[in-house]
Amino acid sequence: MTERAYRYRFYPTAEQENLLRRTLGCVRLVFNKALALQTEAWYERQERMDYVPTSATLTQWKKQEDLQFLHEVSCVPLQQGLRHLQKGFANFFDGRIRYPRFKRKHNGGSAEFTKSAFKYRSPQRDGVLDGQLYLAKCEDPLPVVWSRALPDGVDPSTVTVKLDPSGRWFVSLLVNDPTVEALPVTDGAVGIDAGLTSLVTLSSGEKISNLRHFHKHRRKLKQVQKFLSRKQKGSKNRDKARHKVARQHAKIADSRKDFLHKLSTRLVRENQTIVVEDLAVQNMVKNHKLANSIADAGWGELVRMLGYKCTWYGRTLVKIDRWFPSSKRCGHCGYIVASLPLDIREWECSHCQTVHDRDINAARNILAAGQAVTVCGANVRPVDGTSCEARHESGGQLRKTRKGRKQKPKL
């Protein structure tokens, strides 16, 4: 069975919203205090703290007179927040993510409830979606909009309540889904070249346009941001204006995610093997001339979706090295040109006189390289290149901020 999350929107009552906001606030407070404690322990004593000592410290915090309000919410989300922090530190020391950051109130927040902190009844009964979900400390069930039914006979292992910056409430139920099955095997294989004018170019010659979701809503976003900048800090009008900006950002993010879900699902259904480049998007957005367009394209999110959907449905996702010269290599004779600026979209090979479309040629080379890697384990890295693992190896030390200063604890 495959772990899968089902997300639903819900509209809490005033009493429920008050309790949930207090829960999110307590989770944020405990997380930030634990992060500050672990940061101080590392910089002063070079000591790593795991979940056990931070959990014991949480017990001591609850005994303090000024933190008695921590008893008013369920203890499970507080403990889960500490576990998430520990996981973040483990990923950081393994070099997978950057140093954990402090949570901010205006970013919304989330709280995770395990089985001991919620009660669930299936939303499917007599053909009607009318399920009930009770959270700890909450007397009435959450008014969830059951837009789709969970698979029959499954119970959630965790329930995560999330408040996004625009003020929308969501609940995610994590289940072991027995309905996820591998798709029938096909002979299809596709190489994907990411771009800006065309979001992706397939090795079949098809180009899928970049809808530029941010650009479509940029004018409206600029307008609401201008209204926000004119409001007095700390006023209610500024808070209303901030929610308008957040709603506009949510509209952009939702439209982009919907498009990427449809595109990734289509590619997984049609192809048995999908080959992509292992792009370093975080490094690419440092180019200030292209950062906005690259971030709007959502290449990293597309590859992430392809990854877990290929795992679900029995497909193969191959990532080739980012330094493979896919655009500069002639797909006909293998000749590599010395230089190929971005403004050149078509070029002619000086050896075989074949005229190439830059993006289609790159996609076909990516597919060929991926098949070589899959079949015989060939190395597509340049001979004199340095491995990307060696370039990005962190050595397990704390990173510093851009200005070279250590991160200071802030509450």
pLDDT tens by residue, 172-226: 999 999 888 999 999 999 999 999 989 999 999 999 999 999 999 999 999 999 9
Q: Which helix (H) or strand (E) holds 258?
A: helix 236-270
Average pLDDT, the chain: 87
pLDDT over 70, % of the chain: 89
Instruction: Judge whether 193 counts as a catalytic residue.
Output: yes
Which of 110-114, 214-218, 239-243, 288-292 is predicted with the least confidence, judged by mean pLDDT? 288-292
Query: 157 is written with which tokens?
Result: 């292992």
| Angle at 393 (CA atoms; ends 392, 398), nearest 5 degrees | 105
- pLDDT at res. 84: 96
Query: Which of the residues 47, 155, 193, 239 is marked catalytic?
Result: 193
pLDDT at 392 over 90: no
Question: What Rg do the C-alpha atoms of the chain give, in angstroms?
Answer: 25
Q: How far apart are CA 411 and CA 397, in angstroms?
A: 23
The distance from CA 283 to its chain's CA centroid, rounded to whole angstroms, is: 17
Strand 355-357 to strand 207-209: parallel, antiparallel, or no bridges (unpaired)? Answer: unpaired
CB atoms within 10 A of CB 283: 10
- pLDDT at res. 385: 41
When pLDDT is cut at 50, 70 and 90, the band that residue 403 belongs to is very low
Query: 338 is written with which tokens?
Result: 């010395």
351: Cβ–Cβ under 8 A, 6 or more apart, which residues? 330, 333, 335
- pLDDT at res. 391: 35
pLDDT at 43 over 90: no
Query: Which of the residues 112, 187, 270, 277 is marked catalytic?
Result: 277
Instruction: Judge whether 258 counts as a catalytic residue.
Output: no
Q: How far apart are CA 231 and CA 404, in angstroms?
A: 34
- pLDDT at res. 379: 58
Strand 316-320 to strand 273-277: parallel, antiparallel, or no bridges (unpaired)? Answer: parallel
Q: How far apart are CA 230 and CA 77, in angstroms?
A: 37
300 or 1, higher pLDDT: 300
Strand 2-9 to strand 169-177: parallel, antiparallel, or no bridges (unpaired)? Answer: antiparallel
Average pLDDT, integer, range 339-360: 88
7 or 96, higher pLDDT: 7
Query: 250 is written with which tokens?
Result: 């949510």
pLDDT at 358 over 50: yes
411 or 378, higher pLDDT: 378
Average pLDDT, integer, range 337-362: 88
pLDDT at 398 over 50: no
- pLDDT at res. 121: 82
CB atoms within 10 A of CB 213: 21
When pLDDT is cut at 50, 70 and 90, the band that residue 406 belongs to is very low
Query: Which of the residues 44, 359, 384, 389 is marked catalytic?
Result: 359
Which of 55-64, 164-173, 201-210, 399-408 is predicted with the least confidence, judged by mean pLDDT? 399-408
How many CA atoms lie less than 13 Å away from 55 in the CB half-sphere? 13
Which residues is 162 bridged to in the sheet? 110, 170
When pLDDT is cut at 50, 70 and 90, the band that residue 131 belongs to is confident
246 or 279, higher pLDDT: 246
Instruction: Judge whether 359 counts as a catalytic residue.
Output: yes
Average pLDDT, integer, range 302-320: 94
Q: How far apart are CA 208 and CA 293, in angstroms?
A: 16
